[in-house]
Amino acid sequence: MARQAENTCAADYAMAPIHFDAASELCANGPTTDACFGDSGGPLFTQGATPLEVGIVSFGAGTCLDPAHPAVYARLGSPSINAFVHSVNPVVQPFPPANPSIGPAPVVGTASSCTGAQFGGSPATDQATVWGRLTGNTIEAVGSDTTYTPSNTDLGHSLVCAVVAFNAGGLGIAQSDPSPAVVAPGPAPAPSVAPSSSAIAQGTETVVGPAPGPVPTGGAVAAARAAILNRMCVRRRCTFAIAASNATDATAITATLTPAPTCRKPHRAGARRRCKRHKPIRLTARRVAHDRFTLTTGRLKPGKYTLAVQATNQVVPTMLRVRVR
C-alpha cells in the first residue's frame, strides 16, 4: 500500500461531502489493499526494518478499493493528534455500566421519568436525555427532558429513553429497555383542564429502524436490534451514537452517509430542474461498549445528509437525516 500525495488526495475529495485535511490527515491505498468497513482505528505502518505507525484509519468513500478515493487516516505526526496519543492522562469518554429505566409505567397525562443511568470513565461535562416513541419500524424523537408526559398520540406505543454523557474524550450512551405500551388513564371523577401542550416535548427528527419484536403476552417488549441514538456535530464533524445489541463486533456494522442531491434552479420557466446525486461516503464503526458503537465523520460540507446503518443480521437499515450547517 502506498501513501498518496496530499494535493492528489485533496483533489480526490474536493467534491465529496467529507473534506480531506492535509494538516491532520493522510491518504494511502494500493491496487488490492485498502481500509474498509470495520477498520476504523486500525494502524497504518511504514515499511522497512523498523516499521513506524504513522496513521489511524478514519474514513473513506462509499466503496472499498475505490482508486479515486483512497482511505483517509488520522496523521499521527500532527501536533494535536500526537499530543493526544502521548497524553499521560487522556480523557476517557463516558461509558454506561448501568442503563436507565422508565418509571412509572407510561400513562397518558402522567409524567414518567428516565432514571438510573450511571457512567464510568472521566467525569462528564454535560448530559442530555432523549425520549423516543416506537411505531412499527419508526423510532420518533418525542422529548428531551428527564421526564416525559405521554399524550394521546403515544397511546398503544412503547417508549424508550436514553441518557447521553459528554466530555472531551467523546460520548457515552445509556439506553433503557422499551416500556410497556402507553395506556390511557381511567375516567376522571370530575372534569379537569387538559394539560398544556407546552408540557409535552415534541421532537423534530425521525429515526427509521428495525422495530422491536411483537409484545409478548407477558407484557415485555423485545429489545431493538439496532438504533441510532444520538448525533453531535461540532465544526461540521459529526459523531453518531449507535446501539446494536446483536452485532458481534464493529465489522458487523455497515454505515454510509449520503448527501442530499444538489439541484439547480432552471434558467427559464417550464424547464426541468436538474439535480446531481453525490456518492455516498462509508463510515467505520468503533465499539465503545458491549452493544454501543460510534461513527465519526471528517469535515462535512454544509447541507443535508442521510445516514444508513445496517448490521449483518438485519434486513431493514436504520436511517437518520441530519443537517450540517
- How far apart are the C-alpha atoms of 259 and 305, rounded to whole Å? 4
Instruction: Give the type of residue at 65.
Output: L
- pLDDT, position 150: 93
- pLDDT, position 248: 63
Is the Cβ–Cβ distance between 37 and 31 less than 8 Å? no
Instruction: Give the type of residue at 275.
Output: C
- Each of the 325 residues of the chain gets a pLDDT tens digit; together they read 888 899 888 888 877 767 788 888 999 998 888 888 778 888 999 988 889 999 999 888 767 888 888 899 999 998 888 887 888 888 888 888 999 999 999 999 999 999 999 999 889 888 888 888 887 656 677 888 889 999 998 999 999 998 888 887 777 888 898 999 998 886 655 554 443 333 222 333 333 333 333 333 333 333 335 566 666 776 778 888 777 665 666 777 778 888 888 887 777 777 777 788 888 888 888 877 666 778 888 888 888 888 887 776 543 444 555 666 6
- pLDDT, position 190: 53
- pLDDT, position 101: 95
| DSSP states of 156-213 | T-EEEEEEEEEETTEEEEEEPPPPPPPBPPPPPSS--PPPPGGGS-----EEE-PPPP
- How far apart are the C-alpha atoms of 113 and 128, rounded to whole Å? 13
Is the Cβ–Cβ distance between 281 and 62 less than 8 Å? yes
Is the Cβ–Cβ distance between 108 and 184 less than 8 Å? yes
SS3 (DSSP) at 87? coil
Task: Spell out a b/e string for 271-287, using b for 16 or more CB atoms within 10 Å of the CB, else e.
Answer: eeeeeeebbbbbbbbbb
Is the Cβ–Cβ distance between 214 and 223 less than 8 Å? no
Domain chopping of the chain, boundaries: 2-85, 91-223
- pLDDT, position 263: 80
Q: Domain 91-223 classified CATH 3.40.430.10?
A: no
Instruction: Give the type of residue at 271.
Output: A
- pLDDT, position 321: 59
Sort strands 126-135 and 138-143 into parallel, antiparallel or unpaired.
antiparallel
Question: Would you identify the CATH topology of the domain 2-85?
Answer: Thrombin, subunit H (2.40.10)
Strand partners, 318: 309
Kindly report the number of other CB atoms within 10 A of residue 126's CB atom.
9
